[in-house]
Amino acid sequence: MGEGLEAGKHHCALKVLSLPETGGLWGAGAMVGGLVPSGLQTWLSTSYCPHSNSCRLFYPEDPIKIVRGQGQYLYDEQGAEYLDCVNNVAHVGHCHPLVVQAAHEQNQVLNTNSRYLHDNIVDYAQRLSETLPEKLSVFYFLNSGSEANDLALRLARQYTGHWDVVVLDHAYHGHLSSLIDISPYKFRDLDGQKEWVHVAPLPDTYRGLYREDHPNPAGAYASEVERVVNSVQEKGRKIAAFFAESLPSVGGQIIPPAGFFQEVAEHIHRAGGVFVADEIQVGFGRVGQHFWAFQLQGEDFVPDIVTMGKSIGNGHPVACVATTQAVARAFEATGVEYFNTFGGSPVSCAVGLAVLDVLEKEQLQAHAASVGSFLTELLRQQKAKHPIIGDVRGTGLFIGVDLIKDEATRTPATEEANYVVSRMKENYILLSTDGPGRNVLKFKPPMCFSVDNARHVVAKMDAILTNMEEKVRSCETLRLQP
């Protein structure tokens, strides 16, 4: 955080120019009693905010100071309760007592690195292996999803002896330099695309190249990957890996058509590369039907490497890479030790085990399937009522609501989506947007999100959209229908 800061000076990341009481059409909501709480005033003061300008808050014009979390709820310093619809890190619920207890109890006994024998790391690897296809039997433990994807890239290059990477458009795989390079979502705003990075179209069947009316979108999008691979080989370059989020999130809550990964894997393997499934956003039962999102593609698909993060530790910094014996042996052949100071520590593994215990005991995967289906159906009813909703897509508790300006062109309704998010926050519901057009309302709540929560959220959204239709004519889909 200190890089670029001048000694003795404080810098504030929060460009809060004003905190309007109500604002205009797209303004923020009212402060509590029309005033900024004293604690928040201190935080917003440039004298007390030593952050880089690149570090940002949600709702920058009307930020929330969160001081407590429990289950699917967050609480501000005034005691107001917010329903959290987007925090997929607190996977089994904020501050779940069993997870907190596991960390506390192990912290009281021992927390050291993984160069000593300890039952926790062995038990945890065994438990994870029981959720994965048999060939994914070697585990590396780390601290973050970015570390996991960086290691996956190293593994792929060592195993294949190749260097180049194929990724999907709008992908995001982490904040390390190696991962910015393979994340179109980031590199297009920075140094641009490296010569060893090759981008294939996002398999978006709503506004992509091949849409819902295509007879075989999986095959069509896979053929685009094949075209990219062929182009790489014609230049004399070699593919080390294909990286894909099992369900692209930053790309707009995308559900790749079933069969897409299998066909892509064939093209990548034929080129001598490996398939890396990034499960950091969507693993651990979130999709409901399966424990891992890549399993939505079918039982015949098994990645060569799987990366995990975020939800794996319910907020504790844990991450993991799972791979095959063959890939691991190639990595070992370098003779260079892989060591991670905090990865696989007794406390981290105790937390990981506790998360798995809670998922099992509270049947949260089945819960995600049930509640997710209910929420999706309610949202689809809203789509029939409000033309601004162009698409509702998702599985389990991973859902996107795509807002559009025009039904024919499907132009992203970016400003309108931001307005909905702001109004939902005024109603103590935390939502966010994603997608290239920042117009997709994303739902990735803690897995304890309930049917009552779903009803409440959709009722508030319905009221906000109805109000917009009555008062706002900012886009074709908001004009009153004949």
Q: Of 187 and 407, which is predicted with more confidence?
A: 407
Residue 1 confidence (pLDDT) above 70:
no
- Kindly report, residue by residue over 376-404, the tens digit of the pLDDT: 999 999 999 999 999 999 999 999 999 99
Q: Residue 303 has what pLDDT?
A: 98
Rounded percentage of the chain residues whose pLDDT exceeds 70 = 89
Residue 9 confidence (pLDDT) above 60:
no
Q: Are 229 and 220 contacting, i.e. CB atoms less than 8 angstroms apart?
A: no
What long-range pairs does 455-463 form, CB within 8 A, spacing at least 24?
455/378, 456/83, 456/429, 457/83, 457/85, 457/375, 457/424, 457/429, 458/375, 458/378, 458/379, 458/382, 460/424, 460/427, 460/429, 461/382, 461/420, 461/424, 462/382, 462/385, 462/386
Residue 97 carries which side chain, given as an amino acid letter?
P
Alpha carbon distance 325, 385 (integer Å): 53
In this prediction the pTM is 0.89
Point out the least confidently predicted range of 2-11, 139-148, 426-435. Answer: 2-11
Alpha carbon distance 345, 118 (integer Å): 9
Q: Residue 34 has what pLDDT?
A: 43
- Kindly report, residue by residue over 334-349, the tens digit of the pLDDT: 998 898 999 999 999 9
**Helix H or strand E encompassing 138:** strand 138-142
Confidence grade of residue 360 (pLDDT, cut at 50, 70, 90): very high
Spell out the domains of the chain, with CATH numbers in brackets. 97-362 (3.40.640.10), 364-480 (3.90.1150.10)
Residue 173 confidence (pLDDT) above 70:
yes
Alpha carbon distance 413, 402 (integer Å): 8
Q: Residue 24 has what pLDDT?
A: 35
Q: Residue 474 has what pLDDT?
A: 72
DSSP symbols for 339-376: --SSTT-HHHHHHHHHHHHHHHHTTHHHHHHHHHHHHH
Alpha carbon distance 21, 23 (integer Å): 6
- Kindly report, residue by residue over 90-134, the tens digit of the pLDDT: 999 999 999 999 999 999 999 999 999 999 999 999 999 999 999
Helices (H), 197-270: 217-234, 260-270
Alpha carbon distance 244, 274 (integer Å): 11
Average pLDDT of span 200-204? 97
Question: How many CB atoms sit inside 10 A of residue 186's CB?
Answer: 18
Rounded percentage of the chain residues whose pLDDT exceeds 90 = 80
Q: Residue 470 has what pLDDT?
A: 86
76 token code pair: 């501000």
Residue whose token pair is 């007592």: 97
